[in-house]
Amino acid sequence: MNVNEIIDKYYPSNDELKRIYLVHARKVASLSLEMAARHPELKMDKKFIEEAAMLHDIGIFLTNAPGIYCMGDKPYICHGYLGAELLRSLGYPRHAAVCERHTGTGLTKEQIERQGWPLPLRDFLPVTLEEQLICFADKFYSKTKHLEQARTFEQVVESMRKISDESVKKVKCWAEMFM
Q: Can you spell out the DSSP letters for 96-116?
A: HHHHHH-SBTBB-HHHHHHHT
- Residues in contact with 125: Cβ distance below 8 Å, sequence separation at least 6, in sequence order: 101, 106, 107, 108
The residue ranges of the chain whose pLDDT is under 70 are none
Give SS3 for 46: helix
Domain housing 17: 3-178
**pTM of model > 0.95:** yes
Distance CA 161, CA 33 (A): 26
The pLDDT assigned to 167 comes to 96
Q: Total structural domains in the chain? A: 1
Q: In CATH, what number is assigned to the domain containing residue 87?
A: 1.10.3210
Q: What is the pLDDT of residues 72-124, one digit of tens each?
A: 999 999 999 999 999 999 999 999 999 999 999 999 999 999 999 999 999 99
